[in-house]
Structure 1
Amino acid sequence: MDIQRKIDSLRNYLNGKKVLVAFSGGADSTLLALIAKEEAKDALAVTIDNGVMPDECIQEAEQIAQKIGIKHRIVRENYLNDPAFELNPPNRCYICKKKMYQKMEKIARDEQYDGVIDGTNISDLMEDRPGIRFNLEKNIEMPLIKSEITSKDVRKVLNQLNIDYNPSTTCLATRIPTGKTITPHKINRISYAENLIKNLTSLDVVRVRDDEGLALIEVKDIDKLIDKDLLDHIVSELKAVGFKRVTLNIGGYGDVKDEMVIYKPCKDGKNKIMFETELPYQLNIPLTCQELGKLGKVNCSREMGIATLEMGEKNITISSNGQIVARRVKDREDAQELLLKVLPCLRR
């Protein structure tokens, strides 16, 4: 499906509805808010300031909403006051999203919106995002997934329309390893460190990860940091706010994976051409089989943890460990199109 058909599908989905848009000001929610403003009967963008977001994220979300022309509301609640969040368990992001969406769902009910819509795109299903599990459990609508819109599609459409968005909207708590307590002191020094590096380098996206006082700096364009005097200054400033050591990830940060499948050649003929991908999370095969039945003929082996789907001549095998293999497809594009149809059916 080409991008225009995907956007038309999104417009058709939103047309005439009354929706509350979960709005961060990032690329995905910006595109969703833009189309909702144009197509929905009524649209309200809601941003949750949870006390651990970079200050500029809330400000930029407000500015972007104003440019789009959508109604916008900021709801403030400090999650650092919640002991379950402060303990920073492995399901931290799930807890956070649950708190956010419960607040938005109450607004939607009280003000008679049809429901909350979320900017998760179909490429996000290739990553291990606990918040997606919450969306699936609570039936939060994800229109970009329904329209098979990828991260690459989102960026391309926004660039074509010359629409600004915030390239970095993740909360500062994600910089602290799970299991290590989240404290106001840690959040404040992370915020200071990231703002310092942004101001010194003009980089849009900076991450400073905090592992009990060990700072790990991650940026997309590392060349802007490779200067001895600059690095000495950053180290001095970060130690002054409580970091014990300062390190740099030379691998960079922020690259988006556009290729969703890789080619795996078969020995016995072109009709068995095969593409493969592996997801970074485990799958619930019985639940996945139920969803796959909407697409074609499914064979499900709970014992082996494998599901096979026949769609015409095409065949796809899905394993509980996250491995997905597409067979009897024409080429990479054909395999990727098949994967886009399968991804929304996967259950964890």
Structure 2
Amino acid sequence: MHDLGRLAIALSGGVDSTLLAAVARRCLGRDHVLALHVQGPFIAGDESTRAAAWAAAADITLVTVTVDMLANESIRCNDPERCYHCKKRLMTTLLAIARNAGFPLLADGMNLDDPGDYRPGIRAADELGVRHPLFDTGWAKADIRRGALALNLPNHDAPAAACLASRIPAGMAVDADKLRAVDAGEEALLALGFRGARLRHYGDLAKIEVDPGDLETAFARREALLRAMRELGFRSVALDLAGYRRGAVNGASADDASDTKHPL
């Protein structure tokens, strides 16, 4: 990493980019690292809070950027390439800020496990020359968690997070109301004890995915789950019997996952 010189890092608040920023701070020094965090309706509110708190504690310069992704029709329409359009706009904005601040390189937290999923956003980042130091080092998620634990990072065991729009199936338009419902719904799931759970937004239907080990608890808390989701405006609530799967709605429609939904 020493050969990267002055490095800007897209800091989401997740363990991958947090570890990258921590290592960069140690290797390059405070004045040679700039963390850039995007806030907006696509990002869960607690992620922005965590990112700001950690950067301050780690003595890393953080610039928080507000980007209105919903202003872009290609993103709002939510076709299978939404992630490409979103990442292209996001990284273009961050690159301009970084270079204006004297940081010619921008890096993200992509790791060895990421390309196996359907991620057109990776293509957009590559087209812009965004660096992937963790991937280039050959680190997978398990390596990153071990490294984060060794550095006593507070999110070393935090569940994987993702853009809130990833909870809305391709072909269903993305809007601020849906994103707020997803964010509030996942906060409610966390409050009920379901760590790392997902709320998939299918219009009037909320599909809940919890860790497979939490399925029995979800059945036991059926009434609380129904109440929480209906307070957010959902008419129907379903529990996915397969449990949480990474990338469950990538390029999928509501019908694609219907055989594992259990009505609550």
TM range (shorter): 0.7 to 0.9
Runs of 4 or more, structure 1, over 6 Å off, are: none
- CA pair 98-78 structure 1, distance change in 2 beyond 3 A: same
Aligned to 2:204: 213
Measured in 2, the distance between the counterparts of 1:169 and 1:240 equals 24
Amino acid of the structure 2 residue aligned with 1:58: S
- CA pair 227-249 structure 1, distance change in 2 beyond 3 A: closer
| Residue aligned with 1:72, SS | strand
Query: Normalization by structure 2: what TM-score?
Result: 0.85
Aligned to 1:27: 15
- List alignment gaps of at least 5 residues for structure 1: 1-12, 256-279, 281-348
CA shift for structure 1 position 37:
0.5
| Residue aligned with 2:181, SS | helix
Aligned to 1:128: 118
**Rg larger in structure:** 1
Measured in 2, the distance between the counterparts of 1:171 and 1:67 equals 25
| Residue aligned with 2:63, SS | strand
CA shift for structure 1 position 69:
2.2
CA shift for structure 1 position 160:
2.3
Q: 2:228 aligns with which of 232, 237, 242?
A: 237
Instruction: Indicate whether 1:62 and 2:41 are aligned.
Output: no
Give 1 or 2: higher helix fraction. 2
Once the two structures are superposed, residues 221-270 of structure 1 have per-residue CA deviations (whole angstroms, 9 ceiling, x without a partner) of 41573354x21122123123221211111222268xxxxxxxxxxxxxxx
Once the two structures are superposed, residues 91-132 of structure 1 have per-residue CA deviations (whole angstroms, 9 ceiling, x without a partner) of 111111111111111012211212101111112122221111
Q: When the two structures are aligned, how many residues end up with a matched partner?
A: 244
- Asked if 2 retains the 8 angstrom alpha-carbon contact of 1:51 and 1:77, the reply is no
Instruction: Indicate whether 1:150 and 2:140 are aligned.
Output: yes
| Residue aligned with 1:98, SS | helix
| Residue aligned with 1:116, SS | strand
Query: Normalization by structure 1: what TM-score?
Result: 0.65
Q: 1:40 aligns with which of 25, 28, 31?
A: 28
CA shift for structure 1 position 213:
1.6
- CA pair 124-176 structure 1, distance change in 2 beyond 3 A: same
- Asked if 2 retains the 8 angstrom alpha-carbon contact of 1:51 and 1:76, the reply is no
Give 1 or 2: higher strand fraction. 1
Amino acid of the structure 2 residue aligned with 1:175: R
The 5 A counterparts of 1:242-261 are: 242-253=233-244
Aligned to 1:118: 108
- Asked if 2 retains the 8 angstrom alpha-carbon contact of 1:53 and 1:171, the reply is yes
Instruction: Indicate whether 1:194 and 2:186 are aligned.
Output: yes
- Asked if 2 retains the 8 angstrom alpha-carbon contact of 1:15 and 1:39, the reply is no
Q: 2:175 aligns with which of 161, 176, 183?
A: 183
